[in-house]
Amino acid sequence: MNLVILMGNNIINNRSGINSTITPNSIVCDSSSLISITDAGLFGALVIVSRNLQGNLIISEGVQRESIDRPINNPQYAFSAVRLKRALLDGIFQLAKPDPNTTQKILDLTNKMFYVGGMGGRALNLVHMGEAELLALAIDNDLSTIMIDERTTRMFIEDPMGMKNHMEKEFNSKITVNQKAFQEFQMMTRDIHAIRSTEVVALAYDMDYFSKFRELKEKAFESALYSLKFNGCAVSFDEIKELVREV
């Protein structure tokens, strides 16, 4: 595979496979998490975590389009997009091109896994290009951590049968599983661990990111978690309470 990494305006090609600039502790980021964490004013927490883990923050071109290129021209979302673009130009992110074959394979498997009305019925189109590119970058570069706040793709990895049960309630109809697609996707993603922006901020708390708030640091941490939820992170109130109890 020929992986192309773009750092700012510099392009580095590595024809040997995994790019040497991508360290094993790198985190592949989805637009859902980047938008949540930036809108909540917590981008610094992500930077601190990546530096302490001695890894890079990787995004695909699809994520760049979703979180920077499109919203930067919309006044409602432009400021967050500007901050993310500044981070990209400053080299905080690495922009990577995933293997298109792996990306397409993921799209085929995930969007032909669940059917309403039996295998001859309607396939549920649940995963989009940005999420497929995210997974492809992790798979092809042997990276174990992706950051994604969007619930559906995370459940594909963590609890696909739980997602099936949820959809049966939502559609009030039996969902049929394509077992071949299910098993192949499970094999492809078996080493991938999905984290949300809330887990990143919890790690940042352990790394003293909130120490600047001094005696208010625990309250600041709790408030940050709620801010992430209200800015789009798929986290429950009970999960937030559990994270707060653990600090």
Domain containing residue 102: CATH number: 3.40.50.1010
Predicted pLDDT at 21: 64
Predicted pLDDT at 24: 80
d(CA 181, CA 187): 10
Predicted pLDDT at 179: 94
Q: What is the pLDDT along the chain (247 residues), one digit of tens a residue?
A: 333 333 333 333 332 333 446 778 899 999 999 999 999 999 999 989 988 888 889 999 889 999 999 999 999 999 999 999 999 998 888 899 899 999 999 999 999 999 988 787 889 999 999 899 999 999 999 999 999 999 999 999 999 899 899 889 888 889 999 999 999 999 999 999 999 999 999 999 999 999 999 999 999 999 999 999 999 999 999 999 999 999 8
Does residue 2 lie within any of the structural domains? no
Does residue 5 lie within any of the structural domains? no
Q: What are phi and psi of 130, to 5 degrees?
A: -60, -45
Does residue 81 lie within any of the structural domains? yes
Alpha carbon separation from 150 to 103, 190, 205 (Å, rounded):
18, 19, 22
Does residue 16 lie within any of the structural domains? no
Q: Which two tokens stand for residue 130?
A: 């940005």
Give the CA count within 13 Å in the CB-facing half-sphere of 31.
22
> Domain containing 186: what range?
23-246
Does residue 15 lie within any of the structural domains? no
What per-residue string of b and e applies to 55-84 under the rule 16 or more CB within 10 Å gives b?
Answer: bbbbbbbbbbebbbeebeeeeebeebbebb
Q: Which two tokens stand for residue 120?
A: 């001859």
Does residue 7 lie within any of the structural domains? no
Alpha carbon separation from 194 to 26, 145, 150, 176, 197 (Å, rounded):
13, 6, 10, 25, 10
Predicted pLDDT at 118: 78
Does residue 11 lie within any of the structural domains? no
Q: What are phi and psi of 203, to 5 degrees?
A: -65, -40
Strand duo 175-177 + 145-147: pairing:
unpaired
Q: Which two tokens stand for residue 194?
A: 């999905």
- The structure's pTM equals 0.84
Predicted pLDDT at 7: 34
- Identify how many contiguous H helices and E strands the chain contains and give both numbers: 12, 10
When divided into structural domains, the chain yields a total of 1
Does residue 18 lie within any of the structural domains? no
Predicted pLDDT at 23: 78
